[in-house]
Structure 1
């Protein structure tokens, strides 16, 4: 018996395309085909061997119908559905499927690339599988989103020509949504964990010194590295406490454990050490006081600490230890030796502490450290101590990584020692290192300048180079330059007013005053033993307060006072001296060495051609450039009749002369019912000066096209 079923090749048989009228009794016409079966796909089942291998047609069809996996068979390049099983019909939105093309059944999928998959399988005869394929299909509830796993397998006619494909499909929308929800929950948990770590890290940073003092005769640097565990806080600490008589106390400590509790205990112990040292206690006396306090602090038992007081001028060293490793001394020739251990136990264990002495020679480096760097995984404490001495010595001599290495010996020792020792073995405990390199006392600054606007520019360059040698931060350098430039400008305008004309404005050069004295200004500076830079600006004239009708003059002294810690004015018959002080420090985490100070750029003013009324100002806006800047603003405001926006983000120096120009322009535009909008990024030079001057401005960038 011959049978015919459009099973899309699921049943093995002889497959061919009918090209005319089929033989009566030998071929059953396809259910959908016309009388001549043109283009219909039929499967012929030959009795005998074929039935024995594949099963009889009714059985095979029933197995196809009851298969648990949704199956759909399509024929021809138009992908016309010729067979679907019960599982597919149950999952399908539409029930009348056979005879329609995929494009007719699912027009909304036309641009969702699934037809491209069917085309490729039909054209190449190569199966393709997709996972979690997102599609949007129309249901009774409107357009809905689904996810499918599916495999598209080709089937062929007897001539091995592509006849169509079989698609097995499984909707996985629920699984995908559950997985995404789980991923979102995991991401949220990870974000909470990251926020918690960030909070702990902020706590740790608040409890440790954010910077170290810049002191004459000693260069300091430090690092703190957290343990490689799920914590962002620990009990290690370091400190550099500036004391009287040019001394500095170098402290390292370690509280047992990790986490918030250890950090809290550490903060208490560090505060006690600072207070006792500043009260005049020596290392042992401070340690005994710390011990008494630790006995009443839960979690402080068995904490360790080492306090070393250094006199940079002589190298004299006094230290006391409470169960903490003694410092390492690296001589200028690279010889590395540990100071003798104190032999006294940790805090709150009943020990009594005494002072020990040593010396730090010129060019030598003292290295405080915690045991995390010598007790690394896979190393013994003894081998770890040897490794530390060897690597730190090589770093001090600049033999480890000499190319582009830091010029500061203390920074080089800290950075390179940690990198080399921790990069292979890692570390299971917190690591703290504090280095003190004994250096020569930095030279003092002395510059004699003409009492005119050119002197202000000259002093900024000279002062910048001197401050660069002190290794101060860019913020400190900028603030000191602003302050000193204002003081020099003031001296030029007020010190020699008794001479005909205003001396500071009659031209450059060391012109003689009426008394035969040179009209000049002297700037002197030095780094004091308390870590403050002291700068004096002195003239030899007799100050007179020149009455100014300009309400925007007279702000220079106020600006200078804002940028410093203290400012005093000493007026005498021989001249006026203004003295300012500012504490210098550098952050513990340092960036690469800055290049030599470059000559400040001249002022440039450009108009945005795409945004009328928007000016961009870069460079120095000072007494020299203020007159030209006045002309630029007059031109671009058309004499005060046109509103203007000025972008000051590129201004590297904004002197009081520039502030006056901005004030005048602002008032001129207001009188004409126009506005002057000044933009200065938060924390920029212009932002700080405009705040002080009381000039309205915005920190929101101006709109630009493009």
Structure 2
């Protein structure tokens, strides 16, 4: 060695080096070999595993088996195979820290860096992980506090997602013995409209048909072709065509033009009463079943040739779903990865879907509550972590056959306006159990509330002998239509000559549901309402929040505040029990009409016919009265239906005053 060659200095005493490694304020791991054996883990790394025994010296798969199916081990394998670093930001990981089998939720940002032997061969990797849970939750809470998350996302969505939403189903049908969930994500690199689609069509006899397809290419042409094919398939199914007949129609149509040729598609029809399943596919990946016991199995479908290529119709496969089994249909964008075989990707999909559906998650986690929603949301979310960015759109449609159909709702409501809030909460809770989407649930809660209010106010000159003012019954039929009856046993009083508000309740009900029938007789009056109900679907990018929000609360105390002179902010329900407080609050703030008044109604949860009547009366008394209500808000929808929209100074939803 030459005299001027540098001499390598020691890193420090072994004790100091270990102490420094232990105290680094980040999770640090060192792995060796293809099995990713743990050779070093600092204090925060061991703490992240709940200081479980036997961490060092064992493969990480043995140390943390709960990570299987969360695409963590697959990422380690990818780094080992490719010898290239992988960086991830804000990934949700579920870990069993307490050893009780219950998984806790955290978010992490991480860097996986390969390490090598002196001869250049792979040795293992070092992993640097930063826990970012607090930052993620603070940001999400701030976003939720700023505006309703779905309205905020839709308002900020670019033209690409707006186009996709206009061509895909606005919602999935809500059915008595089938649960449906769907997730569509746009390719991360191109963010261009694509040709994936999904659909669910109720059929006679309680059956349901589900379809997932993929048109070749991206851009507006692919989206337009997708929209045409989706319409052809839905019309064929609604017109009575079976699986094979529907594929025949799609194949015939696809052969007419270049944009629709070589499309792949999978069509399935499920009878939820028996579990009988018929499936056929045209060059489409095989459907997956996640069983109620938490095991995966594939439906052995003859793939056939793509649509429009002249190959003829494929063979139909018969299968059966057990109670609580979940059928998963998807497009190849979910499983195609550079450097990974299709078999490996399908195996990863199966593990991920099973883990998503059968993890024991803490109650305060933000993952969806319903199993079918978790499978749809978390599978797409986790499968999007690997592969260095998605180059194709991905679609997943999950179908669960439930063990028992939804039981009808029956309520008896006392003839007391103070019980209306309790009744609305009961109806809302039942609709949430049925998984009815927020918009349809809001409309039904309002319609039922109006019908019950009418019975309580007008049917009984004297209190009813049995103490029941109205009986409510709701049932969901096999075609996804809600049938609700509100019956009283009284005799309605004739409307007085000055009853300017009478009749508005029924008018509102007709505007909120599809069909209304009123039957009056000597034993009472029955109002029957029918409305199709749907569950919202999630269309976005891989960076979007995957969880689907449930039904929000529809009732709380009425509050009236004056954040600035001449402006009132009203929140809560305005019904027969609170309308007088609402009326008096407006008159007092306007000083009996001496000054103009603007009323912000964005936070109103119930805007009943009593509120409508009050506004109609007050507009004459308060000539300067103006209202703020977005067209999609509760009050905004009702004001549009009842001839009061001319009073609205429209403010975009989400921009209401604090």
Give me the TM-score of the superposition, normalised by structure 1.
0.65
> What's the secondary structure of 1:424's corresponding residue?
coil
Of 457, 480, 491 in structure 2, the residue corresponding to residue 531 of structure 1 is 480
Q: Is the 8 A contact 2:333 2:392 kept in 1?
A: yes
Pairwise CA distance, 1:200: 4.1
Pairwise CA distance, 1:391: 1.5
Whether 1:371 and 2:326 are equivalent positions in the alignment is no
1:290-325 deviation digits (Å, cap 9, x = unpaired): 212222122333221111001122211111211212
In the other structure, the counterpart of 2:606 is 653
Q: Is the 8 A contact 1:465 1:597 kept in 2?
A: no
> What's the secondary structure of 1:479's corresponding residue?
helix
In the other structure, the counterpart of 1:185 is none
Q: Is the 8 A contact 1:648 1:678 kept in 2?
A: yes
Whether 1:268 and 2:228 are equivalent positions in the alignment is yes
Whether 1:600 and 2:555 are equivalent positions in the alignment is yes
Whether 1:619 and 2:593 are equivalent positions in the alignment is no
Of 347, 359, 378 in structure 1, the residue corresponding to residue 320 of structure 2 is 359
Whether 1:690 and 2:643 are equivalent positions in the alignment is no
Greater shift in the superposed pair: 217-226 or 644-653: 644-653
The 1:648/1:272 distance shift into structure 2, 3 A limit, reads closer
The 1:681/1:199 distance shift into structure 2, 3 A limit, reads closer
User: How many Å separate the matches in 1 of 2:188 and 2:553?
Assistant: 42
1:76-123 deviation digits (Å, cap 9, x = unpaired): xxxxxxxxxxxxxxxxxxxxxxxxxxxxxxxxxxxxxxxxxxxxxxxx
In the other structure, the counterpart of 2:421 is 457
In the other structure, the counterpart of 2:342 is 381
Pairwise CA distance, 1:405: 2.6
Pairwise CA distance, 1:668: 2.4
User: How many Å separate the matches in 1 of 2:319 and 2:302?
Assistant: 12
Whether 1:316 and 2:265 are equivalent positions in the alignment is no
Pairwise CA distance, 1:330: 1.2
Q: Is the 8 A contact 1:373 1:431 kept in 2?
A: yes
In the other structure, the counterpart of 2:70 is none
CA RMSD, Structure 1 to Structure 2 (Å):
2.8
Q: Is the 8 A contact 1:400 1:416 kept in 2?
A: no
The 1:625/1:346 distance shift into structure 2, 3 A limit, reads same
In the other structure, the counterpart of 1:552 is 501
In the other structure, the counterpart of 1:206 is 166
1:435-470 deviation digits (Å, cap 9, x = unpaired): 111223222111101123224223112111111212
Q: Is the 8 A contact 1:682 1:699 kept in 2?
A: no
User: How many Å separate the matches in 2 of 1:704 and 1:386?
Assistant: 48
> What's the secondary structure of 2:412's corresponding residue?
strand
Of 597, 612, 616 in structure 2, the residue corresponding to residue 663 of structure 1 is 616
Pairwise CA distance, 1:259: 2.4
In the other structure, the counterpart of 1:407 is 369
1:183-232 deviation digits (Å, cap 9, x = unpaired): xxxxxxxxxxxxxx944443333222232111111111112223344351
User: How many Å separate the matches in 1 of 2:422 and 2:556?
Assistant: 13
The 1:583/1:546 distance shift into structure 2, 3 A limit, reads same
Pairwise CA distance, 1:704: 13
Pairwise CA distance, 1:282: 0.5
User: How many Å separate the matches in 1 of 2:228 and 2:192?
Assistant: 18
User: How many Å separate the matches in 2 of 1:216 and 1:539?
Assistant: 27
User: How many Å separate the matches in 1 of 2:598 and 2:224?
Assistant: 50
Q: Is the 8 A contact 1:377 1:428 kept in 2?
A: no
1:402-456 deviation digits (Å, cap 9, x = unpaired): 9443211122112222222220214333322111112232221111011232242
Greater shift in the superposed pair: 309-318 or 646-655: 646-655
1:136-164 deviation digits (Å, cap 9, x = unpaired): xxxxxxxxxxxxxxxxxxxxxxxxxxxxx
In the other structure, the counterpart of 1:258 is 218
1:561-595 deviation digits (Å, cap 9, x = unpaired): 11111111122332211111222212211864657
In the other structure, the counterpart of 2:154 is none
In the other structure, the counterpart of 1:631 is 584
The 1:623/1:380 distance shift into structure 2, 3 A limit, reads same
Pairwise CA distance, 1:287: 0.8
Q: Is the 8 A contact 2:424 2:554 kept in 1?
A: no
| Higher relative contact order (Cα pairs below 8 Å, separated by 6+ residues) | 2
Structure 1 residues without counterparts, runs of 5 or longer: 1-196, 504-510
1:642-693 deviation digits (Å, cap 9, x = unpaired): 4433333332222222222222222124xxxx42223323322222222222
1:323-360 deviation digits (Å, cap 9, x = unpaired): 21221111111121111122422222322333221111
The 1:599/1:680 distance shift into structure 2, 3 A limit, reads closer
User: How many Å separate the matches in 2 of 1:575 and 1:239?
Assistant: 43
Q: Is the 8 A contact 2:331 2:396 kept in 1?
A: yes
Structure 2 residues without counterparts, runs of 5 or longer: 1-156, 539-544
The 1:382/1:541 distance shift into structure 2, 3 A limit, reads same
User: How many Å separate the matches in 2 of 1:689 and 1:545?
Assistant: 26
Pairwise CA distance, 1:552: 2.7
Pairwise CA distance, 1:521: 0.5
1:492-534 deviation digits (Å, cap 9, x = unpaired): 122224x4xxx5xxxxxxx42xxxx545210011222111222
> What's the secondary structure of 2:604's corresponding residue?
strand
In the other structure, the counterpart of 2:209 is 249
The 1:315/1:545 distance shift into structure 2, 3 A limit, reads farther
Whether 1:699 and 2:652 are equivalent positions in the alignment is no
The 1:229/1:592 distance shift into structure 2, 3 A limit, reads closer
In the other structure, the counterpart of 1:478 is 442
User: How many Å separate the matches in 2 of 1:316 and 1:662?
Assistant: 55
Whether 1:444 and 2:408 are equivalent positions in the alignment is yes
User: How many Å separate the matches in 2 of 1:615 and 1:229?
Assistant: 47
Q: Is the 8 A contact 2:424 2:555 kept in 1?
A: no
